Amino acid sequence: MRERIIHIVVIIVCVTLAICGTWYFMRNNGEVVTGTKKNVTIKEDNSISEAIDKVYDAVVVVDNYSRGRLTGYGSGFVYKKDSKRGYILTNYHVVEGADEVKVELTSGEEVDAEVLGTDEYTDIAVLGIDPDVVTTVAELGDSSEAKLGDTIFTVGTPVSQDYAGTVTKGIISGENREVTLENDGQEYVMEAIQIDASINPGNSGGPLVNMNGQVIGVNSVKLVESSVEGMGFAIPIEVATAQLDKLENGKEVERPVIGVSLYDVNNIAALYQQGIKLDDSIKNGVVVNSVEADSDADKAGLKAGDVILKIDGTDVRNSAHLKYILYKHNIGDSVKLTISRDGKVRELTLQLTKKLGD
């Protein structure tokens, strides 16, 4: 009997202590939640909405009309505004062949646009619109400050105009890419930023934007192959804006021409046909096939059979790469050529005085 009483007392003491402990904890450390609701704020650290807001209304759809019919479209963005007009950057290929161009604003309004200037080589065009319809001007950033892995996003019109204003997000996948393209049978090299953000036909000309809402590139090319996915390219904003003063005023962009015909060193068939045999040590460069009389190349002393190995110390990979290096220079500049002639390496100074079209 005594043991039973002790057992009951122990149980009562334990229950009492449990009740008191729970009350004490709730009074001093806890919260009473029964029968109440609390407002919960979710913070999305990865949201890019503030950056999007800075640029979104500066982005437009660019419509290409020929003979009164819509023949193509792309994207663009307002980068400047003055008392005369709003200025839009887009790609050359977006407005190529157009006899009329219109732009659609994020408000849905469609307005006439004037093609002020184009540069086929850098795939850039500048359009002008009524400044009164411009509500937002995009801020231009510095692509050289961007790093591999930085978060970026694009705004544009992929696939169809029904998807105008589409935002896609990704990272910078590659820096300082040199992408070789072909246009009308001519190869050329484009300097590009590689991204993995989804871009599709119609995104061309739209802005590539950093997390500060600043434009660091102009979307231009997507590498489309059955075995490749997630590779997009944008023109660095410094390249896109390098000739804006001329393009805004309808002036021609002048690029140097040196007056030679060339073969790539790996074009074995052409070299064989011309009876040109190269030293086995030459792995890169271009072979001079002919030199125009009184050209800059002629004045510098270049001769048929010479192999141009370097320009200003930069290895020349092929003829498209040679143009890429030359086109970084202005008329009046001089460059140093490293050549191979008769098995010996020499250096020549080439003064750039003539331009395409002369």
Is residue 329 part of the annotated active site? The answer reads no
Is 93 a residue of the active site?
Answer: yes
Set 63, 123, 264, 306: catalytic member = 123
Active-site residue 298, yes or no? no
Q: Which of 57, 63, 75, 93 is catalytic?
A: 93
Residue 355 per-residue DSSP state:
B
| DSSP-derived 3-state class of residue 245 | helix
Two tokens, residue 232: 């997009």
Question: Nearest CA to 89 among 223, 195, 238?
Answer: 238
Count of Cβ atoms closer than 10 Å to residue 192 Cβ: 23
- Alpha helix (H) residue ranges in the chain: 2-28, 49-55, 92-95, 237-240, 244-248, 268-273, 296-300, 319-326
- Residues whose CB falls within 8 Å of the CB of residue 74, separated by 6 or more in sequence, listed in order: 61, 62, 64, 90, 91, 93, 94, 95, 156, 157, 202, 203, 204, 205, 206
Task: Report the helix count and the strand count for the chain, using DSSP H and E.
Answer: 8, 19
CA angle 49, 201, 207 (to 5 degrees): 40
Residues carrying an active site annotation:
93, 123, 204
